[in-house]
Amino acid sequence: MSDATSAQALSRDWETTIEPLSSLSDFEEYKAAYASFTSGEWDDERWTAFRLRFGVYGQLQPGVQMIRIKLPGGILPIEWLRSIAAINRKYAEGEAHITTRQDFQLYFVPLARTPDLLEELYSAGLIVALTFFTVLSGAFVAGLDAGMAYNTFPLMEGQLVPEAMFDMTPWAVNFFENIATVQFDHRLLAIITFVAIVLLWLRGRNPALSGRSARAVHSLAMMALVQVTLGISTLLLFVPVSLAVLHQAGALVLFTLALWTAYELRRLQPQG
Ligand code: HEM
């Protein structure tokens, strides 16, 4: 096989290993690939083949991209129009086009802004993942009766990060068996989840979401507030069963709302 043929075979190989964007982990892959391209590790040809699968196309003008967003079945709920208009104003220039391929095309997006644009299309998925891990960490708190210690908020025995965090060896055991670590992880994940939901809610206000998307985001934000209040009250009152049960049920409701919100907001996807 000549050098040229083997190089071609190699490039086909990596081309076929890349799937179209369909989840947040794929978006992480886009960010990593963009970093490889800008650091010079990836050449133009490899990067071009990669970004096309994420709906990021070249234009005649250098340095700017055309972005294709799928409208499966050609159906366009009004809130998607608002989101597309907002993204067009924020990242692109000129008018967006509706095409006969059942998609929208936005133009003149600087390459360096494409990771942010794709992240904006996908951010709801992050909240599902965060809520999931917070719920999981809560089960560890309940399992270890870790709510019977450190009954203050936000400090734990006068400190933001408790001293006993890594008392056990090997260190990995602390994440499962150390009451201080398990409770700290739950607080931290809960706060990150709460802040992420509040940021999503704030973003949904301008331009305002409408219809089911708005209802989903509002309910999620309201429930996050209720759940954090329940969690803190459960802790401060030394885990009364009634509050602990409400907090457990609240976790289920919050996770369901996170899934619903992700469903309402995630239908905007790039067309690879
Ligand atoms: C997004 C917010 C939160 C979620 C989704 C969440 C979820 C959960 C879940 C699923 C459990 C396990 C319930 C069980 O299996 O009985 C739990 C337990 C617990 N959580 Fe949270 N939580 C959140 C916020 C908080 C906060 C902010 C605190 C306090 C700082 C807190 C304190 C506790 C305590 C003390 C328990 C143990 C209750 C028991 O022993 O039954 N949680 N949480």
Task: Give residue limits of the domains in the chain.
Answer: 3-121, 125-266
Closest CA to 126 of 268, 53, 271, 25: 25
Q: What is the pLDDT of residue 227?
A: 98
Q: Which residues line ligand 1 (CB under 6 A)?
A: 131, 134-135, 138-139, 141-142, 147, 153, 186-187, 190, 193-194, 224, 227-228, 231-232, 234-235, 239, 244, 247-248, 251, 254
Q: What is the pLDDT of residue 150?
A: 97
Cα(181)–Cα(146) distance, integer angstroms: 9
> How many angstroms separate the Cα of 78 from the Cα of each of 40, 204, 210?
41, 14, 8
SS (H, E, C) 172-210: HHHHHHCHHHHHHHHHHHHHHHHHHHHHHHHHCCCCCCC
Fold that domain 3-121 belongs to in CATH: Sulfite Reductase Hemoprotein; domain 2 (3.90.480)
Closest CA to 266 of 115, 119, 102: 119
CB atoms within 10 A of CB 61: 10
Cα(4)–Cα(244) distance, integer angstroms: 66
Cα(195)–Cα(205) distance, integer angstroms: 16
pLDDT (tens place) for every residue of the chain, 272 residues total: 333 343 344 344 433 333 334 455 567 788 899 999 999 999 999 999 999 988 899 999 998 999 998 877 777 766 677 778 888 999 999 999 998 888 889 999 999 999 888 877 666 667 888 999 999 999 999 999 999 999 999 999 999 999 999 999 999 999 999 999 999 999 999 999 999 999 989 877 765 676 788 899 999 999 999 999 999 999 999 999 999 999 999 999 999 999 998 887 765 667 76
Task: Pick from 201, 234, 239 the residue to mutate for probing ligand 1's pocket: most ligand atoms within 8 Å of its CB.
Answer: 234
Q: What is the pLDDT of residue 82?
A: 75
Q: Where are the beta strands (DSSP E) in 82-219?
A: 97-98, 103-110
Distant-in-sequence, close-in-space partners of 128: CB < 8 Å, separation ≥ 6? 255, 258, 259, 262
Cα(270)–Cα(118) distance, integer angstroms: 8
Closest CA to 127 of 14, 257, 38, 270: 257
> How many angstroms separate the Cα of 90 from the Cα of each of 48, 109, 142?
24, 9, 44
Q: What is the pLDDT of residue 119?
A: 76
Exposed / middle / buried, residue 81 (Cβ in 10 Å: 0-12, 13-18, 19+): middle
Task: Pick from 137, 141, 184, 191 the residue to mutate for probing ligand 1's pocket: most ligand atoms within 8 Å of its CB.
Answer: 141
The token pair that represents 175 in the structure block = 């994440």
Residue 170: is the preceding peptide bond cis (ω within 30°)? Answer: yes
In three-state secondary structure terms, 221 is helix
Q: What is the pLDDT of residue 6?
A: 38
